[in-house]
Amino acid sequence: MGLKNKLRVVGLTDTGKVREHNEDTIAGDADLGLLVLADGMGGYKAGEVASGLAVKTIVTMVREHLERENLQSVDADSGLARTSIILRDAIHRANKIIYQTAHTQAQCEGMGTTVVAALFFDNRVTIAHVGDSRLYRARGEKFERITMDHSLLQELVDRGLYSAEEAQRAANKNYVTRALGVEPSVEVEIREIPVEKDEIFMLCSDGLSDMIEDDDIHLTINTFSDNLDTVAKQLIQLANDNGGRDNISVLMAHVVDAFPARQNVLDKIRKWFS
């Protein structure tokens, strides 16, 4: 059972007003229930190589796992455990490929990328991220950031040396403490949360979150929530109006309907006798 009719997915990326080329890469597949966003960094155009490798590797590996294991027909507990493992392994593989490429191709030396990914299954979403690309959730009147940045600034906030408001205004926000391709291995932060109908999940690069206050993002989503394409365009425009100092990417999923996992016959029989 694909999720094509359960999720409405929209993505948009823009170079911004300062950078010469776009080093962000996004991919959204409503049928797989997968969203991936990566923000590359490195020498001339190496960042877009890193982000492109990350997204391509993660999408390919997740698709192969889902097709091979038929995740949609396994029992819920096993399926949810597998989504975490699938995302983690895909990101680890991406890290290995980027690291090897950076160390074997001179033009790619020093490249890396942040990444945030979401995999929807059985009325839940598994979220994995490395770096400071973010995932937010809009639920009615509530708008919250689900991921916490892997950055020096976030560490200072966690230690109480900065408030969240001071961090939003800080000049140097972009020193990440984790990224794909920098080391042979990387720690991937993963969590699972329940999903409800009509929620909107938004992934974004720091080119968006650095340029727009969270309250303004929420207002934009609420104002144009009936049309995610308009939301994406308005957010990109607002980030550019505020300076557009970096590449800007946004990727959103609107939960149109519930998507419980399909139980196979053996699962049903086990429950009859449990």
207-239 pLDDT, tens digit each: 999 999 999 999 999 999 889 999 999 999 999
Amino acid 273: pLDDT: 45
CA angle 227, 228, 234 (to 5 degrees): 95
Please answer whether residues 127 and 145 qualify as being in contact, where contact means their C-beta atoms are separated by less than 8 angstroms.
Answer: no
| Confidence band, pLDDT 50/70/90 cuts, at residue 45 | confident
Q: What is the pTM of this model?
A: 0.89
* pLDDT of 166 higher than 60: no
Q: Which domains does the chain have, with CATH numbers?
A: 11-273 (3.60.40.10)
Closest CA to 121 of 271, 1, 267: 1
Closest CA to 206 of 217, 191, 220: 217
126 SS3 class:
strand
Q: Over range 16-43, report the average pLDDT.
A: 95
Amino acid 42: pLDDT: 83
Closest CA to 102 of 50, 164, 65: 50
DSSP string, the chain: ---TTTEEEEEEEE--SS-SS--EEEEEETTTTEEEEEEEESSTTHHHHHHHHHHHHHHHHHHHHHHHHTGGGS-HHHHHHHHHHHHHHHHHHHHHHHHHHHHH-GGGTT-EEEEEEEEEETTEEEEEEESS-EEEEEETTEEEE-S---BHHHHHHHTTSS-HHHHHH-S----BS--BTSSSS-PPEEEEEE--TT-EEEEE-HHHHTTS-HHHHHHHHHHTTT-HHHHHHHHHHHHHHTT--S-EEEEEEEE-S--PPPP-HHHHHHHHH-
* Residue 197 Rama label (left phi>0; alpha psi -120 to 50; beta): beta
* pLDDT of 116 higher than 50: yes
Amino acid 199: pLDDT: 97
Instruction: Please provide the average confidence, as pLDDT, over all residues in the chain.
Output: 88
Amino acid 270: pLDDT: 46
* pLDDT of 256 higher than 60: yes
Indicate the DSSP class of residue 122: T
- C-alpha distances out from residue 137 to 5, 95, 274, Å: 20, 27, 36
The two three-digit tokens of residue 266, written as one number = 């053996």
* pLDDT of 41 higher than 80: yes
Amino acid 225: pLDDT: 86
Amino acid 156: pLDDT: 58
* Cα(201)–Cα(213) distance, integer angstroms: 17
The contacts of residue 224 (CB under 8 Å, 6+ apart) are 230, 231, 234
* Cα(227)–Cα(101) distance, integer angstroms: 40
- One-letter amino acid of 136: Y
Cα distance from N-terminal residue to C-terminal residue, the chain = 26
Q: Over range 236-249, report the average pLDDT.
A: 97
Amino acid 82: pLDDT: 84
